[in-house]
Structure 1
Amino acid sequence: MAKIFKVSGYIVDVNGGSNVDEVIAEVSSGFDGMINQHIHVEESDIGEWDDESPLNYDNCDLADCEKYFKRKVPVETDRKVEIGKTYRHFKGHTVKVIAISQDTEAPGQFYVVYECEDGAIWNRPYGMFVSEVDHVKYPNVQQKYRFELVED
């Protein structure tokens, strides 16, 4: 029976002599007859190597690896949520955006963290926060987007 493996991890080049193409070639050559598909490799500079770096130890914290890769929030819109700004929900209440967070168990999944007028803290998937109102479900709503920036 055939199998498929999803591979993810970090490779640290302490001498800085490799590039993305070389890493892909090295990874691909070690598959011993297996077919590899869509190998994705990102590259980031980490500065001068320090033997005391957390990256030098087995099973270092994921955050120590991930901090070198600044993720852009992947959404299918050019609408950008601004931290510290106030937004109006299409039902009328306002919220203040506190942060944009990333799910620790699903890197690449982003959320907008916001505070409501009553002090409650909530988070909502980024894509949903910037989405358009479902005007079929809410035909009387005039606002185009679920949350819209309140101008100062």
Structure 2
Amino acid sequence: MTQYNEVVSAFESIIKCKYKLSDSLVEQWFKNALGQFELDIESLGYDPMIQEFVRPSQNSDSIEPDGRLKYSVVITLAEIMKSYYMEQEVRRVNQLNNVIGKDISLNGTGDTKKYTKAEADAVNEKIAYISIKQKPAALV
């Protein structure tokens, strides 16, 4: 069975972060990603008590015959988690670039904001693309 830490490892491998992320924040991003995946595609049978994905009773296109999540699903969850991380980064960069005080006002040149926002948009486009690829084909 696929475990929570495998998804988190995939997430950490695709972000470029110079500081330690809060475990509770990463866990919340995981829950958000799982909810979004289950809303858009299908339920994955995650058991939070054992932090493991268990095979759902119905047939699933997201699960390998041995009961593990397909790696494409793990990567999709990691990319969705990255989108939540990027939302936070955009907010952080905006706060850093807009320092206004009593005697001083500093506004960034906008390049940092522009590149951070562009990366966040690219992540969201990638998620949309890979989510569409995983949805079952409609019956004609």
| Shorter-normalised TM range | under 0.3
**Larger RCO: 1 or 2 (CA < 8 Å, sep 6+):** 2
Flag the structure with larger Rg: 1
TM-score, structure 2 length as denominator? 0.25
Structure with the higher helix share, 1 or 2: 2
